[in-house]
Amino acid sequence: MPTDTAQRYFVDDPAGKVRTLKYHIGGEWKISHTNKYMDCYNPSTGAVIARAPQCTTEEVEQIIGAAVKAFPDWANTPVNKRVQVLFRMKQLVDTHLDELTYLLAMEMGKAWQEAMGDVLKVNEVVEFAAGAPHLMKGESLMQVSPGYDTVQYHHPIGVFAGIAPWNFPAMIPHGWMTPICIATGNCMILKAASFVPQSSLRMMELWQEAGLPDGVLNVFTAGREQAEILLEHPEIKGVSFVGSTKVGKHIYSTAAAHGKRVQALCEAKNHALVLRDCKIERTAHGIINAFCGCAGQRCMALPTIVVEKVIADELVGYLKKFAVEHQKHLGAAYERSSQMGPVVNKGHMEFVLDWIETGVKEGAELVLDGRNPEVPEECENGYFIGPTIFDHVTEDMSVGREEVFGPVLCVKRVDNFEEGLTIMNNSRFANGSVIYTQNGYYAREFAFRTDGGMVGVNAV
């Protein structure tokens, strides 16, 4: 870890409470000249812990220039040399695992084990990307026409931009986006989520320590106006985004209109189908973990279950029992004893609370109310919502159709498998789906016919 504060990603407040964050360009940490900053909170306590600069247009242009400058040398670096950086990065993440976990839990609010999982996912992709010498192999075919052969190569393209979400501040920017990009000889510019930038900035320090050349990876925080530059700039060859559907549509259309490759991963409303022959207690535990994990703030959360009526009362009883027990372990995310942390900030807490109120107004039965949960004294100003369960949710209720992105479960009752599958496939969201059953026929039918992109059977 650098000891010279000039080489760190932050400047400490003399009082030692609120850090002023920097941005990273061409191998250097710089203080922004902006007069606009966003407060970053510890959601477990509600305290401000950092100030993230909203970098200026000129600074973003300079960041792009640094990446463009670094690209030729990095692209010409032999692939076996490039992946040496990845091997060292994996070792550094392992070495600093507890530190990274604490930082992520403190700024985003994931409970300790969830935050650690976020960090460890970085290394899973780093390990995969380290296989680039094999993964980048091309193909050839002789004599496709008299005297002609074809040869296909995979080669670097240029500078890519990653616009990261706040719910996975380590895994997505430094797992999904960065390792593959740099292993294949490209350069990356990351716009870290301004709510939760410190995990990403600390990861940038580790990439430096791993030996990544200056300018190959650059990280900054900014508002929408500066993000637009990444979508339109001619030197940016592609954009990767994870976030809301509204923003994703704008990014996709704008970047594509400027001739860029675009990956935009957006909202979700995953479903589970619970059949009468399921192992009901085991199923209930799996559902609790899926909708309470990360306080419901993940695109693979389980906010909706479709259950056969004949077992619905029994299942809902178990769900309420287990959720009440789960709620007893609400607490500061960075305390290892906590099983569930807060939502990310006050604005998102109010958003989720509004959805709970909407569910009540729409006539869903509020089986368990997670509003104003009991929390430790130090967390009284934190952004906590306990597990919340709605029963008898119908298709005309928006709370059961739209993404809530919080620890809110909607229970829909059906007569049989066919009715349940139809409801699931009628959803406009299709990230994932799961079935709970001991019947091999229904498990196979479900896997074959569900529209979910990722399919589970009896997942816990």
Which positions are annotated as active-site residues?
299
Quick one: angle between helices 198-209 and 97-108, nearest 10? 160
Q: Where are the alpha helices (DSSP H) in 210-244?
A: 224-232
**Cβ–Cβ under 8 Å, residues 29 and 22:** yes
Question: Which residues have C-beta within 8 Å of that of residue 195, sequence separation ≥ 6?
Answer: 38, 40, 41, 107, 108, 166, 344, 345
Q: Where are the alpha helices (DSSP H) in 130-244?
A: 132-135, 171, 178-183, 198-209, 224-232
**Cβ–Cβ under 8 Å, residues 394 and 374:** no
Three-state secondary structure call for residue 191: strand
- Token readout for 294 is 């990360």
How much is the CA Rg of the chain, to the nearest whole Å?
24
- Token readout for 249 is 């549509």
**Cβ–Cβ under 8 Å, residues 124 and 172:** no
Three-state secondary structure call for residue 35: coil
If you count DSSP H runs as helices and E runs as strands, how many of each does the chain have, helices first? 15, 20
The type of residue at 16 is: G
Question: Which residues have C-beta within 8 Å of that of residue 260, sequence separation ≥ 6?
Answer: 231, 236, 237, 238, 239
**Cβ–Cβ under 8 Å, residues 137 and 76:** no
**Cβ–Cβ under 8 Å, residues 364 and 409:** no
Distance CA 228, CA 162 (A): 12
Distance CA 173, CA 459 (A): 27
Phi, psi of 382 (to 5 degrees): -80, 180
Query: Residues 326-332: contacts with CB within 8 Å, 24+ apart?
Result: 326/288, 326/292, 326/387, 327/370, 327/373, 327/374, 327/386, 327/387, 330/373, 330/374, 330/375, 330/379, 330/384, 330/386, 331/44, 331/375, 331/376, 331/379, 332/44, 332/45, 332/376, 332/378, 332/379, 332/382
- Token readout for 352 is 């989720």
